[in-house]
Structure 1
């Protein structure tokens, strides 16, 4: 298809339905394969018992079945214990990863606090420390500076002064 031509909606719908039919048949085939594999495994591991015989032979078969059930339960318990142990290890490793990555620190807010309250927060409520930081400061008297006389002055006066000089040079 070229870039200018688009697929019609009926064709798109038809292709989509074909794809869904193929996928459904694949899923059905996969389910059948799994069921056949289960039946083959059960037939291999659990042979049908021979029930022909007297009561003593049947009691012997029952004892063997109970022993195999006990063994299966032990294996199941061991597998569960192994899974819980590995789950705990995974959780511990996840926590270590979080610790190694570091916890993001929240942005600190600016808090106005006097020196007394800050010391009380640091030292605890037992210690009563009053600290007036301003009392120890040296007193400085502000000197009022007189404004310097204008160095440049009024520009009009300078022009007049320079005009007089110009006249001096012209006359000479």
Structure 2
């Protein structure tokens, strides 16, 4: 019985040694792959200015024969001037709002 236990224990030790060796090898190969990936840097992309006609020509090929004016199709929006509040003397405003009459005006909502 003891002989069988020793044989099984030796086999377990041998398998454990093989697993440890394979784990180290996998780790080394993974590190090598990581190093190789790190050496290959992607170049920074540069912004390229291209006209609308050139872009359509590149995308659609020879189908576009006339130039397209995109700005002509845009809606025009009129800008409304913001009304500025008139600057008044702040001292008059403070005097008007002081006391009970000012509180009544604030409560009633009348300026």
TM-score category by the smaller chain? Answer: 0.3 to 0.5
With the length of structure 1 as denominator, give the TM-score of the two structures. 0.28
Of structures 1 and 2, the one scoring higher in RCO (CA 8 A, sep 6+) is 2
